[in-house]
Chain A
Amino acid sequence: MQLALRTWAILWKDILIELRTKQSFSAMIFFATLVLFLFGFAIGPDTATLSRLGSGLLWIAIAFTGMLSLGRTFQSEEVAGGLDGLRMYPGEVRSIYLGKLLANFTFLLVLEAFLVPVAVVLLQLEPWEHFPVFLGIMLLGTFGFSVIGTFYASLTQHLRARELMLPLLLFPALVPVFLGAVNAMSLALAGDPLGRIGGWIRLLISFDVIFFVVCVWIFPTVLEE
Chain B
Amino acid sequence: MSDYGATEDGTAAVRLEGISKRLGRTWALREISLEVERGTSLVIIGPNGAGKTTLLRVIATLLRPSAGAGEVLGLPLVRGADGIRRRLGLLSTRGHLYDDLTALENLRFAAWMAGLRARDERFRSILASVGLSSEGERRVREFSSGMRKRLVFGTLLTRRLEMVLLDEPYASLDGDGIRMVDGFVDEWKRAGRTVLLATHRRGLAVRAADRVVVLQSGRLLRYCRPSELDPADLDPSGDGGRAE
| Interface size class of chain A, counting residues whose CB lies under 8 Å from the partner chain | 20 to 34
- Which chain A residue lies CB-closest to B115? A2
Which of A9, A20, A80 has the most CB atoms of chain B within a 10 A radius of its CB?
A80
Q: Does A13 contact B (CB under 8 A)?
A: yes
Contact B63 A86 (CB under 8 A): no
Q: Chain A contacts of B94 at CB under 8 A?
A: 81-82
Closest 8 CB pairs of A and B: A85-B96, A90-B86, A9-B112, A81-B94, A2-B115, A89-B113, A81-B96, A90-B85
Interface residues of A in 7-33 (CB under 8 A from B): 8-10, 12-13, 16-17, 20-21
Contact A225 B89 (CB under 8 A): no
- Which chain A residue lies CB-closest to B113? A89
Q: Chain B contacts of A121 at CB under 8 A?
A: none
- Known interface pairs A5-B117, A91-B114; A85-B101 also in contact (CB < 8 Å): no
Chain B: residues with Cβ within 8 Å of the partner, total of 29
Q: Chain B contacts of A84 at CB under 8 A?
A: 57, 62, 92, 96
Q: Which of A2, A6, A16, A88 contacts B90 (CB 8 A)?
A: A88
Task: Give the interface of A toward B (CB within 8 A).
Answer: 2, 5-6, 8-10, 12-13, 16-17, 20-21, 76, 79-82, 84-91, 224-225
Q: Chain A contacts of B117 at CB under 8 A?
A: 5
- Which chain A residue lies CB-closest to B84? A90
Q: How many A-B residue pairs have CB under 8 A?
A: 77
Distance to closest chain A CB from B101 (angstroms): 7
CA distance A87 to B63 in the complex (A): 11
Distance to closest chain A CB from B114 (angstroms): 6
- Which chain B residue lies CB-closest to A8? B112
Contact B96 A86 (CB under 8 A): yes
Q: Chain A contacts of B90 at CB under 8 A?
A: 88
Residues of A contacting B: mostly: helix
Contact B96 A80 (CB under 8 A): yes
Task: Give the interface of B toward A (CB within 8 A).
Answer: 57, 60, 62-64, 82, 85-87, 89-90, 92, 94-101, 105, 109-110, 112-115, 117, 139
Q: Chain A contacts of B92 at CB under 8 A?
A: 81, 84-85
- Which chain B residue lies CB-closest to A16? B101
Contact B101 A86 (CB under 8 A): no
- Known interface pairs A80-B96, A81-B97, A90-B85; A6-B60 also in contact (CB < 8 Å): no
CA distance A172 to B63 in the complex (A): 32
Q: Chain B contacts of A9 at CB under 8 A?
A: 109, 112-113
CA distance A88 to B113 in the complex (A): 10
Which of B63, B94, B96, B114 has the most CB atoms of chain A within a 10 A radius of its CB?
B96
Q: Which of A76, A82, A91 contacts B113 (CB 8 A)?
A: A91
User: Could you jot down 8 A-B contacts, CB within 8 Å?
Assistant: A6-B113, A17-B98, A17-B100, A17-B101, A21-B100, A76-B98, A82-B96, A87-B85
CA distance A92 to B100 in the complex (A): 25
Contact A20 B113 (CB under 8 A): no
